[in-house]
Amino acid sequence: MINLFKKKDAKAFVKKHAFLPGALALRIYTSRLIGANSDLVLHGGGNTSVKLMSKNILGEKKDVIFVKGSGMDLSTIGPDGFVGLNMEPLRRLRNVKDLADEVMQNQLRIHRIDASAPDPSVEALLHIFLPHTYIDHTHADSILILTNQKNGKRIVKEALGDKVPVISYILSGLPLAKAMINQYKKNPDIEAIVVMNHGIFTFADSAETSYKNMVAYVSKAETYIKEQTKSKLFYTPSGARISREKSPSAIQRAAQVIRGTCAHGQDKNTGKLRKFCIEIRDGRDLIEASLSKEAKEICRSGVLTPDHAIRTKNEMAYIPSMPADDAALKQLVHRVVHAYKKDYRQYVQSRKTTKNIDFESLDPYPRLFLVFGAGLIAIGFSRKDARIAADIGEHTIRAKRKALTFGEYKPISRSHVFDMEYWSLQQQKLKKSAILPLQGQIALVTGAAGAIGAGVAERLLAAGAVVVISDIDKKRLEIVYSILTEKYNKNLLECEIFDVTDFKSVQNGFNRICQKTGGIDIVVPNAGVAHVAKIEDMDPQKFDQVMAVNLKGTYTVIKAAIPVFRRQGTGGNIIVISSKNVFDPGAAFGAYSASKAGAHQISKIAALELAEMGVRVNMVNPDAVFGDDKIPSKLWGVVGPDRMKSRGLDPEGLQNYYQQRNLLKTRVLAEHVGNAVVFFASDLTPTTGAALPVDGGNPATFSR
């Protein structure tokens, strides 16, 4: 492990943050160095602190500690990620025999120097009791590898030396804080403390030294592991082999089936089926792990540290084969998930009985799946949750690989994991937010480089979906991506380039999408082109081009979506962006009107054929959507000049003309079309095969 501390960079960081006390600025600097290394901490794990003197509102100097806020990410932490606490009253808690969680939390809250600061780390008392100015704590992989061994204490002492005492696992809070200070009082010369199945704490009176000690001792652990595993096979080959070329297809199929199998219940807030987001990891070493004789043991042997349980649960699910037949794969995944749920419920019930308490159980679904010959699949209620689980899963598998190689892996007991998984102070790290209508769903919008496609994508993002925008025009698509990511988290948006007129290109595009997202729930065929010409003047090749994009393009996208919907088995929505021209065609606009009518008709056929799978197919018929300067309408780029010339209007005048033409005298916007798509995608009514006009009111398009 490399020591990243540079005096020049630290000095520049302190200067840049001159508005902060220098000690706190250094604390932030080294905290980010720790957070930048995923072998030390992952996603809100670990914590750091600094003690300093601070004046209160009366000008009195007080001992204050700034400790990391609960769940804050060290890699990006800033001043607002730390909580200032008055130490004097909190130090006295060393004399308290025990402390209920709620009481401890209240004590920490009422002694904040800023009432708006986040809740401090659950290990804040530990940081307060130890006398050192700087304290660092990580869940370093190499330390956890050593502590999760049958003779873990002896191994840690052998690897790290005499200046690092080892204590048994103790739940964070007052008990661990007391154990740590007692250990320090026995030998004030120690430089670190390792807590079994938990991690390592280093401390010093300078930020550089505390960080340097962290790097040094973790490096010692890494060197020890490397020496112990030298020339040894990481996995025992099972004899099974799946070629690397096939694995992406295999893992996509598995991901789609897993998404469908784990979708569950009627969400109490929305009344809808709750779906998971997927993250796929298929590195070579993960595939090797899935094929090894140790694969089942890797999945069953629990988390590296109980802190991970809130993100991944204690065990992974193992899919022991990869049937070529989708029906057989569904049956296998269903059996695995059913067995996992049964075991999880028994695990929770046994703790309820043992502790004689009652509480609301968390959902029983696994968060990590190791799939034979394919790799690792993680699920979460948001894409962020899935990615966090996947990161932890990757590190866990790689750590267990080493742990199993040089010793006898011995995880912490399930009872300790349960205590952490259901600990209210730990659950608070999972910030609960309102569930949006399309949260957990994956949407694809074709033709997204134009005004309507971009408007639809924006409304789907606002409704909580992960959105894939697609087009054949890469430059315009990049502009749309840039505009959307100014408002929405870029992790919720993906781009894909494919040609809707080429079915193979569409299939490959869907495969890439499923590799990134695990599946698709909402498909919006929107790609379209226009051509202005009377029939007698029309170039047949132009007619073919319009038909290929508007009609065939709708067909290819619907066709490519069907296998994904079938594997997931949770229904879905196809919302075709049709046109008012289906019902009210215009002269010199025959190719467009005919192609849209054909697309409308094939969509109705799809509604008939896909209903048995619970897939709804509906159409939205917009009119006169012009877009804006940032994302103009491609259609009106073609049609507009002819319309303006025939009516003697400028661009603004043309828009006003169409606004005054509709019954409501309103300007139709791309977001209105997007709202119609969200309505259908939200399953608010049992509707399929319907056409919804978004045109401000046009009698010629009234249903009849």
> Which positions are catalytic?
592
Cα–Cα distance, 556 to 399 (Å, whole number) = 44
Characterize 355-385 residue by residue with b for buried, 16 or more Cβ atoms within 10 angstroms of its Cβ, and e for exposed: eeeeeeeeebbbbbbbbbbbbbbbbbbbbeb
Which one, of 625, 155, 222, 142, lies nearest residue 395 by Cα?
A: 142
Whether 592 contacts 638, CB under 8 Å: no
User: What secondary structure, in 3-state letters, does 63-130 show?
Assistant: EEEEEEECCCCCCCCCHHHEEEEEHHHHHHHHHCCCCCHHHHHHHHHHCECCCCCCCECCCHHHHHHC
Cα–Cα distance, 339 to 332 (Å, whole number) = 11
Cα–Cα distance, 658 to 653 (Å, whole number) = 9
User: DSSP letters of 278-314?
Assistant: EEEE--HHHHHHHHBTTHHHHHHS--SSGGGHHHH-S
Cα–Cα distance, 572 to 606 (Å, whole number) = 12
Whether 163 contacts 88, CB under 8 Å: no
Whether 75 contacts 32, CB under 8 Å: yes
Cα–Cα distance, 700 to 496 (Å, whole number) = 37
Residue 420 amino acid letter: M
CA 491 to chain centre: 8
- Relative to beta strand 615-622, strand 691-694 is parallel
Cα–Cα distance, 577 to 524 (Å, whole number) = 7
- Relative to beta strand 61-68, strand 264-266 is unpaired
Identify the residue whose tokens are 């943050």: 17
